[in-house]
Amino acid sequence: MDTSNSREIIANETTPLVPTKSSKKLKTPLPKLQIGILITLQLAEPIASTSILPYINQLIRELGITGGDDAAVGYYAGIIESLFFVAQALMVLRWGRLSDRIGRKPVLVIGLSGACISILCFGLSTTFWSLVISRCLCGLLNGNAGVMKTMMGELTDSTNMAQAFALFPFVWCIGSFIGPLIGGTLARPQDRWPVLFANGFWEKFPYFLPCAVAACLFVLAVLMMSIFLEETLPTKRRPKSTSAMLGISSDELLHQQSMAYMPLRSLLTPSVVIPIANYTLLALLDISFIVLLPLLLSTPTHLGGLGFDPTTIGSWMAVFGITNGIFQALFFARIVDWIGPKCLFCVSVSCYAPLMAMFPIMSWIVHVRGEVDHAITFALLFLMGIQIASDMAFGAIFMLITASAPTNNVLGAINGLGQTSASVARVVGSTLATSLFAASKEY
């Protein structure tokens, strides 16, 4: 008998099927510069989208849309927010598939430029329909969310993906801290700094200043991306870096390029559909919380709200954002390494039940005590703790969706499909949640 063959058989029979801890694969170092640029680009979007939250309800009242009926504000706030997601649902999959063909960077340029124009239009809006059109424009031109997740997936591998995807909720939380501060502080500047903003322009467009600041961030993001960010789509990278950096042969590149044009139906396998369906449910729950929180905070106490002004709303939402962001950055990757993304997702989603229960509880506290006092402060802090736990579901589901892609050249389409499903869920969630809130105050 050949001794080399016998040794090979013995080695195969004695090798454990489950690797021991000592043979655990080492983590690949993150490409810090490229991920840092990508995260900086991502930061502009939550700042812009959350900067309108502290004053949107007051803006609707001042436009006279409701005819003085405070209970109806929720209907119109829900319409404005839901139409953004309708527009996004119509186009985000197309942007994702386009990024699989022409590259990630061109699609990001269009998305960031569109977001910049739309937020300026929002600040110059003086009618309900101009608000609607500006938000729809943002949704139609904005495929950034899916494309940025795709780029993150292409910059990482299975060993460092949790560490990288932890930055998405972290950045969103930091943006959710800065955005409400900008919106709450800079709204109606003529009232806060009458000497600096005495011009009649600010009387006509009292909410333009926070929108202008958000637009400047988009301009800076486009400039930074154009100069420093590298293309991550393998078939569109520079010839030097395509095969050398990624270790991909020319035959494999041709195969991946052909997969970018494969029919969408062929991607709908159970391994892809299941995480996308879970992401859809998560988006429905999350948007319901996001639209209900500022409504509860701004609604007068006699209607069951907390009666906060835009500045106070901005401050509280900023505290929620920064605390959440710090926790995600410090602990998300460690928790994923401990219990895995699937288990973490299940635990985090289950936190939405007590999260939603806190809204009627806080309304009941105000009703019983007759004022907003320290009991509400403790309730809001408890709400913040539950929200931190629930927000970890996003990083976990992003990892699961990325891992479901058969190749990077269809990752844009898969993330686009996930974003489309999430946008539809957000349309339903924002409309349903705000309508039920308004109905509860009216009846």
Find how far residue 402's CA is from the centre of its chain: 16
Q: How many alpha carbons fall within 13 Å on the CB side of residue 26?
A: 2
Question: For residue 399, what are the contacts with CB-CB under 8 A and spacing of at least 6?
Answer: 161, 162, 165, 336, 341
Residue 107: both structure tokens together: 């699609």
Closest CA to 433 of 278, 308, 294, 302: 294
Q: Where are the alpha helices (DSSP H) in 374-410?
A: 374-403
Predicted confidence at residue 13, as pLDDT, reads: 47
d(CA 323, CA 257): 42
For the chain, give the percent of residues with pLDDT over 90. Answer: 24
pTM recorded for the entire structure: 0.72
Task: Give Cα separations from 329 to 332, 334, 335, 398 (angstroms).
Answer: 6, 10, 11, 15
- Closest listed residue to residue 314, CA positions, set 53, 130, 83: 53
Per-residue pLDDT tens for 239-271? 544 444 444 555 554 445 545 556 667 777 888
Q: What is the DSSP string of 57-70?
A: HHHHHHTTTTTT-G
H-helix or E-strand spanning residue 424: helix 411-442
User: ∠ CA(50), CA(421), CA(429), 5° rounding?
Assistant: 55
Contacts (Cβ under 8 Å, ≥6 apart) of 46:
171, 172, 174, 175, 176, 179
Per DSSP (E only), the strands in 260-396 are none
Structure tokens at 199: 């011009």
CA distance 304 to 291: 16
Burial class (CB in 10 A: 0-12, 13-18, 19+), 416: buried
Structural Rg of the chain based on CA atoms:
24
Tokens of 177: 């801290």
pLDDT of residue 270: 87
**In sequence order, which residues have a C-beta less than 8 Å from that of residue 67 and are 6 or more positions away?**
none
User: What pLDDT is attached to residue 18?
Assistant: 43
Digitized pLDDT (tens) for each residue of the chain, 443 residues in all: 454 454 444 444 444 444 444 445 677 888 889 999 998 888 998 898 889 988 888 888 888 887 777 767 777 877 887 788 888 888 888 898 888 888 899 999 999 999 999 999 999 998 889 999 999 999 898 888 888 888 988 888 878 888 888 788 788 878 878 888 899 889 889 988 988 888 889 989 999 999 999 999 999 999 999 899 998 887 777 654 444 444 455 555 444 554 555 666 777 788 889 999 999 999 999 989 988 888 888 888 888 788 888 778 878 887 887 888 888 888 888 898 899 899 999 999 999 999 999 998 998 998 888 888 888 889 999 999 999 999 899 989 988 988 887 776 777 788 888 888 988 888 888 888 877 887 776 66
Select from 207, 371, 358, 347 the least CA-distant residue to 292. 358
The CA distance from 153 to 401, in Å, is 10
Note the pLDDT of residue 24: 55
- Encoded tokens for 435: 């309508």
- CA-to-CA dists, residue 59 to 77, 126, 178, 187, angstroms: 10, 9, 20, 10
pLDDT in tens, 388-435: 999 899 989 988 988 887 776 777 788 888 888 988 888 888 888 877
Q: What is the pLDDT of residue 82?
A: 77
Enumerate the H helices of 124-238 as residue ranges.
128-141, 144-155, 161-165, 167-186, 189-192, 200-204, 208-228
Q: What is the pLDDT of residue 17?
A: 44
Distance between CA atoms of residues 283 and 46, nearest Å: 15
Nearest C-alpha neighbor of 78 from the set 439, 432, 422, 385:
432
Give the per-residue pLDDT at 278: 95
